[in-house]
Amino acid sequence: MVKNHINETSFFEWDPETYKSYFKKIKDAQEVTIPKLNEMACEQVEVAGVPYVSLFDNKKYSFVLRGYVRHWLGQVWREFDRVRLVELISQKSERNIRQAAS
Amino acid sequence: MPFRNSITIVASPRPRVGKTLLARLLTDFHLQEGHSVAAFDLNAGKGTLAQFLPEHVSRSAIDDLKGQMALFDRLILDDGVTKIVDLGHGSFQPFFTLAHQFGFAAETRSRGNALVILYLLTPDHTSVEAYRSLRSRLPEAVMAPVHNEIFGVAQHRERYGLVGSATVIRLPLLAPAVRKYVEIPPFSFADSPPSADDVDIDIELQHWLGRIYLEFRELYLRVLLTDLKSSIGL
């Protein structure tokens, strides 16, 4: 389950009942938090039409905007590592393959 | 790859330790060496770098994105200009936090420029811890500890882990009679002597400048040697 804060969205934190109804329902669900990215940096990525990694590697863009993207992407990747996203996905894929084979 | 230009940050988390004096001296040193210099002043109040050297200094602030882009994007630019930052104690933490998050030291190095941090040594715990933190967060930067002799003879080497032959730059004590001339802005050490009538004051100032400029020359030579060694894999 992903909480995407990139546009400062909130998730019913002010209303525990509603919050629980969404986020406590699914058993064993992992929660991934995507933090907010500076607006101008986000806009730069969209205007450039390139992947995040390409932007922070390309020195033709503002160093500061690239810096914000770099820092934000680091936070996102740490979140992926924290929930062991790659392991979760590969386990699921293996299960699907086995089911299909049987 | 030997460095082409330098970005020198004059820093300490403590106020009134001699940062602006050091930044002034460094700016005038580079100007006298014939370098193009752009200095950035992150201080507020009186007696700031911008007041002493208005022609060469831009006032900067990093509270918002606009200010951050005006400073960091200019610092990182490959324009053949020597950059100096007088980092007020209030900007110490936010500046280095952003520098760390943005990968400032690594980018400076990848562009073939040298990042030097002139760090004024004081015995307090905050300064010692901040120095250690900088060393670990910005390993690509050259840390150049500075001892301001106005605070006495102790260099506090042990507290800072500066053992053996680790070099500490000495900012020599300036005679009070000369200090009263150089502390009134605007004032450039590169310009005319402070008192045309008093030869003794001029001699004293030139002697003092000679000592600190020698320290700067040795510093940049060390930076160049370190860079050469790393480029040939020693």
A-chain CB neighbours of B68 within 8 Å are 64
Q: How far apart are CA B180 and CA B171, in angstroms?
A: 17
Report the percentage of chain A scoring pLDDT > 90.
Answer: 47
Can you tell me the distance from the alpha carbon of A67 to that of A65, in angstroms, rounded to the nearest whole number? 5
Residue in chain A lying closest to B107 (CA): A63
pLDDT greater than 90 at residue A16: no
Token pair listed for B177: 């009679």
B-contacting residues in A 45-74 (Cβ below 8 Å): 62-68, 70-71
Spatial CB neighbours of B94, under 8 Å, sequence gap ≥ 6? B62, B63
Hey, are the CB atoms on B73 and A64 less than 8 Å from each other?
A: yes
Per-residue pLDDT tens over the stretch B33-83: 999 999 999 998 887 999 999 999 999 999 999 999 999 999 999 999 999
pLDDT at B67 (0 to 100): 97
Q: Is the pLDDT of residue B6 over 50?
A: yes
Token pair in block for residue B73 = 């994007």
Across the interface, of A62, A70, A71, the residue whose CB is closest to B69 is: A62
Residue B92 pLDDT greater than 50, yes or no: yes
- Asked if residues B186 and B54 have their Cβ atoms less than 8 Å apart, the reply is yes
Q: For every residue of B136-159, which 3-state class applies, written as one string?
A: HHCCCCEEEEEEEHHHCCCCCHHH
> What's the CA gap between A63 and A56, in Å, rounded?
8
For chain A, domain boundaries: 2-101
- The CATH code of domain B6-231 reads 3.40.50.300
Lookup: tokens for B31: 């100007």
Q: B80: alpha, beta or left, given left = phi > 0 and alpha = psi -120 to 50?
A: left
Handedness of CA B212, B214, B216, B218 (dihedral sign): negative
Lowest pLDDT segment from A11-15, B32-36, B160-164, B183-187? A11-15
Between CA B90 and CA B111 the distance in angstroms is 29
Query: Hey, how many other C-beta atoms are within 10 angstroms of the C-beta on B207?
Result: 12
Q: Identify the residue among A60, A64, A66 best suited for mutation to test binding to B, counting B beta carbons within 10 A and taking the highest.
A: A64
> Does residue B150 have a pLDDT over 70?
yes
- Taking the CA of residue A26 and the nearest CA in chain B, the distance in Å comes to 35
Band (B3; pLDDT cuts 50, 70, 90):
low
Question: pLDDT band for position B199 (50/70/90)?
Answer: confident
Domain residue extents for chain B: 6-231
Name the phi and psi angles at B115, rounded to 5.
-105, 120
pLDDT score recorded for residue B1? 47
Q: Which residues contact B92 (CB under 8 A, 6 or more apart)?
A: B11, B12, B13, B130
Task: Using CB atoms within 10 Å of the CB of residue B103, give its burial: 0 to 12 exposed, 13 to 18 middle, 19+ buried.
Answer: buried
Determine which of A37, A62, A63 to mutate to test the interface with B (most B C-beta atoms within 10 Å). A63
**Mean pLDDT to the nearest integer, B190-196:** 67
Res B218 pLDDT > 80: yes
Complex ipTM, two decimals? Answer: 0.89
**Contact by Cβ (8 Å): B73, A64:** yes
Lowest mean pLDDT among A7-21, A37-51, B78-92, B203-217: A7-21
Q: Which chain A residues touch B63 with a CB distance below 8 Å?
A: none
CA distance B65 to B164: 43
Q: Decide if pLDDT at B94 tops 80.
A: yes
CB B36 within 8 A of CB B80: yes
Q: What's the CA angle centered on B229, arms B223 and B231, to 5 degrees?
A: 100
Mean pLDDT, chain B, rounded, equals: 92
